[in-house]
Each structure stands twice: as C-alpha cells, then as structure tokens.
C-alpha cells in the first residue's frame, strides 16, 4: 500500500483495482464513496491506471484514445483487458467446457467439447489446454496475461494439493495431479473445486430474487453429492471433500457399498441402482433417459422405483438438514429430470422427520438448467473468492502501478 508521510492512504491503485474486481464497473464518484476518499485522490489514481492501460471506460474495446490520459468523467470504469484475464475448465462426465473471461468475471468466450465417459484424465487435461490456447489466440494482440484458472473436475480430490482420491469414478483420473498439470501447462495459479461443489455455486448464482442464506444442491446422477453455499461462499471442507451425501449410510444393515460401508445412499438412489431395477421390472436394456421417460409417462413399475429412491434421498438429507439448516434445497443431476416423481417422495420423507426449526420455511425445488456461460461465469466468480487477483494484477505491473500516491 502506498503511503503519504508514512500514513497509509486510501484510494491506492490496489484498492481501486480490487474495488473494480469485486463490484464491476464504477464511476469515479462511486469509487470515491466506496473507498471513503476524496474525488481528487481517485482522479489521480485512475489517471495513472488509465495511462498504464489497466482500466478503461466501460464499453470500449481498449483502443480508445484518451486525451492526455484524462479519465472521462461520465463513464463507468472497468478493468481493461490489458490488466489480464482468467480462465475456467469444467470436466463433466461426458463433456469438458473451457472458457476465458475478464478479471471481474465477465465471460469472453466458452467452448463445449463432448468426450467419452471412459476417456482418461490426462487426455482430458491435454484437450482442455489446447482449447484454452485456441481461445487465447483468438483475442486481439498483444496477448493478455492469464492470472488464474478455475478447474472443476468430476472426481474426488484434495483441492489444495490436487491429489486425486477415491475409487470408482475417480479411477479415470488415477495418477493425474490436476493442480500440477494445469499449473505447468499454463503457467498460472490454479483453483480447484469438485464439480458437485461447483454446480452448487453455479446454481446459487443463477437464483433470482432475495438470496437464501444457506443453499444445498443435491446432484442425483451416477454419483450422489451435495454442495453447500453459505452466505454466498462455497463450503468445501478442509480438503474439498465436504458433501459426500452418497456415502451417508441410511441403514447399517443395508447392502455393501464399494466404499466398504453398508447402506450408503448410492446403493438406493444412484442412477446405476435405479437403472438396474428398471431393467429388471421391464425386462429390457433401457437407457437412463428411457427409464425417466417411462416414469414421466406414468409406468407404475418404474414410478415406484423412482419414488423409493426419492424417499431414500429424503432420509439422508434429514441428517444434512439437522447439521446445516438450509433454507433452500435444489435437486439437480441427471435424475432431476424425473421432477416431482422423485422430488415429492423426497420431500415427504424429509419433512416426516424434520425438526420444527429447519423444517419451517424450507423450500425444496428442482435445480435450473444452466448454460455453458452460467457454468463458466460461476467459475470465474468463484476463483475470486480464493485468489487475491488485485495483488496478482498489480504485481504483474510493478513497479509503476504501486508508486502512485
């Protein structure tokens, strides 16, 4: 922080950059109010940042001719492309989405790539890195600095070390350290978040109306996972493993699970279990979507399978609600397309055993369908909760940017 006669001053380049990162575009008067300093101080700082090409008036392409480096008074200021950009990779079971965006979270471009659910992790990292380079190459020269990458993989991993843990679905990522791979390939800071936690944050960001305080997102697919967003922050746990609802036991004498415990929720409500039961009762080799269509069409044999699965999820969620006290639960994942056929029995089972405090006013709804833009936008915003981007931006432009008083 710059100083004047040894006293820390307000309205430094660091503070202005951080305010524009967090709040998006602002007028100079808004910046002065937000940073509790004088307009003159802001004008000095902004003029210097404009001269360096770090900020620009909103709505320009960065090539605006500034008269003697003066800030246009009436226009909102945003961080310029020259200050850098950030990126995102989302590894879903059968696709990878990559994207790049402005430092304040505005999405510049995304790319969707289908892949085989059986493809190996290393191959998927290589494909994502090539696609990111292509998106970066499409930007006008000179290439902006990539200040960070948010990666949301479909595997259990330690989000700090990048080490992949767990069996089953994680086996395709065996031997791949996601942090190291992406840091080495792109030379930038990497923030990791499991896809289940990331989906919860993306759903939270897509909500309209007054923000709930504590949102749970339940992903019902071949795995079952919970993501929690409390007061706008993802709760990841100490290692990134918070929310493994699929391995909460609802019957200590139940069927054995690959995790070696008994009665885990996945043995009652995963897409694999539901599909297996639907194939038995119909005597056909259905796909999951065909099974959901039969349920939606009112086939009683199939409806009862989805209904029992929903009730099992409700039982497991009772424990989560007693621990976490959410005000909104969103049901997402591949099975959510069955809608009320799975959600009604889930709700009934949960409320049957709900304590009055968490049960009062708790809403349970189907999650929204999100676009690639929504998912990448959520990655770019989430990264800013973990990385000090303002410090990274100014460090990359030192020493000129930090000597302005």
Give the footprint of Zn ion on this chain (CB under 5 A): 247, 257, 259, 261, 264
Shortest CA distance to 153 belongs to which of 175, 136, 170? 170
User: Which H helix or E strand runs over 217?
Assistant: strand 214-220
Least distance from Zn ion to the Cβ atom of residue 56, Å:
52
Nearer to Zn ion, 264 or 376 (CB): 264
Alpha carbons within 13 angstroms on the beta-carbon side of residue 10 total: 11
Unique residue bearing structure tokens 């200050």? 83
Please state, in angstroms and as integers, the Cα–Cα distance from residue 222 to each residue in 62, 140, 225, 333, following that order.
Answer: 46, 42, 10, 9
Q: Rounded to whole angstroms, how far apart are CA atoms 274 and 10?
A: 60
Q: Which is nearer to Zn ion, 257 or 296 (CB)?
A: 257
Q: Which is nearer to Zn ion, 53 or 241 (CB)?
A: 241
- Residue 218 or 362: the one with the smaller Cβ distance to Zn ion is 218
Q: What is d(CA 81, CA 142) in angstroms, rounded to the nearest whole number?
A: 10
Cβ proximity to Zn ion: between 71 and 265 the closer is 265
Q: How far is the CB of 247 from Zn ion (least distance, A)?
A: 4
Residue 266 CB, nearest approach to Zn ion (Å): 6
- In DSSP notation, 24-70 reads -SB-HHHHHHHTTS-HHHHHHHHHHHHHTTSEEETT--S----GGGP
CB nearer to Zn ion: pick between 40 and 256:
256
Output Rg (C-alpha) for the chain, integer angstroms: 24
Closest separation between CB of residue 252 and Zn ion, Å? 12
Q: How far is the CB of 268 from Zn ion (least distance, A)?
A: 11
Shorter beta-carbon distance to Zn ion: residue 257 or 319: 257
Q: Output the smallest distance, CB 254 to Zn ion, in A.
A: 10
Separation CA 64–CA 87 (nearest Å): 25
Structure tokens at 88: 């995102």
Q: How far is CA 30 from CA 18, 51, 195, in A?
A: 14, 20, 36
Nearest distance in Å: CB 242, Zn ion: 16
Quick check: 179 and 162 in contact, CB under 8 A?
Answer: yes
Distance CA 290, CA 309 (A): 17
CB of 246 to Zn ion, least distance (A): 7
In terms of CB distance, is 266 or 305 closer to Zn ion? 266
């Amino acid at each position: 922080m710059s100083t004047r006669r040894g006293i820390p001053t307000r309205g430094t380049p660091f503070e202005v950059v951080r305010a524009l990162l967090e709040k998006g575009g602002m007028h100079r008067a808004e910046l002065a109010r937000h940073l509790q300093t004088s307009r003159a101080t802001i004008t000095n700082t902004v003029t210097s940042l404009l001269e360096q090409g770090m900020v620009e008036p909103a709505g320009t392409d960065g090539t605006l001719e500034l008269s003697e480096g003066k800030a246009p008074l009436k226009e909102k200021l945003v961080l310029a492309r020259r200050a850098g950009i950030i990126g995102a990779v989302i590894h879903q079971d059968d696709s990878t989405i990559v994207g790049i965006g402005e430092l304040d979270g505005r999405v510049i471009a995304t790319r969707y790539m289908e892949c085989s659910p059986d493809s190996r992790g290393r191959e998927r990292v290589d494909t994502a890195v090539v696609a990111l380079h292509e998106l970066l190459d499409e930007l006008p020269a000179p290439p902006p600095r990539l200040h960070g990458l948010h990666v949301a993989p479909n595997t259990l991993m330690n989000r700090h070390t990048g080490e992949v843990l767990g069996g089953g679905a994680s086996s395709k990522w065996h031997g791949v350290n996601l942090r190291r791979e992406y840091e080495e390939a792109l030379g930038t800071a990497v923030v990791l978040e499991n896809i289940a936690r990331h989906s919860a944050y993306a759903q939270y960001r897509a909500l309209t109306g007054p923000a709930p305080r504590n949102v749970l997102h339940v992903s019902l697919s071949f795995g079952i996972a919970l993501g929690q967003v409390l007061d706008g922050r993802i709760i990841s746990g100490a290692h990134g493993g918070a929310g493994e609802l699929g391995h909460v036991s609802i019957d200590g004498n139940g069927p054995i699970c690959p995790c070696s415990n008994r009665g885990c929720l996945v043995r009652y409500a995963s897409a694999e279990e539901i599909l297996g039961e639907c194939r038995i009762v119909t005597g056909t080799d259905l796909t999951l979507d065909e099974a959901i269509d039969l349920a939606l069409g009112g086939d009683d044999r199939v409806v009862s399978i989805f209904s029992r699965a929903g009730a099992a999820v409700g039982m497991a969620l009772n424990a989560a609600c007693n621990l976490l006290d959410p005000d909104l639960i969103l049901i997402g994942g591949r099975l959510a397309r069955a809608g009320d056929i799975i959600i009604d029995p889930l709700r009934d089972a949960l409320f049957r055993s709900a304590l009055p405090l968490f049960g009062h006013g708790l809403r349970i709804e189907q999650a929204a369908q999100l676009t690639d833009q929504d998912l990448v936008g959520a990655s770019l915003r989430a990264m800013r909760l973990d990385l000090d981007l303002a410090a990274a931006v100014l460090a990359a432009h030192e020493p000129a940017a930090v000597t302005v008083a």
